[in-house]
Amino acid sequence: MPGKNSHVQFKLTDPIQFLALGFGSGLAPKAPGTFGTLAAVPLFLLMSGLTPLNYALLVLLVCITGVYICGKAASDVGVHDHGAIVWDEFAGFFITMFMVPVSWQSVLIGFILFRLFDIAKPWPISIADKKLTGGFGIMFDDVLAGFFALAIMHIIF
């Protein structure tokens, strides 16, 4: 995490690292994943007016490009899944909110559920987190956390 790897030098001027760091939100000294998810909220609100198909296609694009973005940023600094890399949190939160009615309550509950699944990493998320490597590994556990949170969101809403 950032404290553990404080010697790592990210470059916000590098477009790939800028995206991987969630526009800089992942550089928060504490709880970078939470700050990354917070940074995803305004983008979600902008996306929420899209048709379900266009929203799904955009989220798919975020996930596919995220494999490259996260893998490249991790490779550039030599640390797999550094805590400051939060593009995966963006993808997970976007998945969490798919076809959920938009309100401050749904955004708050979606935020909390996604963070809980991302932090607690219940099975099979924990397996993906431990066994998968590279950009795919960085992305996949958050994608799974997003789907777990999405299921609960659809039960609630």
Tens-digit pLDDT string for the chain (157 aa): 444 445 578 999 999 999 999 999 999 999 999 999 999 999 999 999 999 999 999 999 999 999 999 999 999 999 988 999 999 999 999 999 999 999 999 999 999 999 999 999 999 999 999 999 999 999 999 999 999 999 999 999 9
Helix, coil or strand: residue 141: helix
Burial (0-12, 13-18, 19+ Cβ within 10 Å), 87: buried
Angle at 136 between CA 24 and CA 4, to 5 degrees: 50
Global confidence as pTM: 0.94
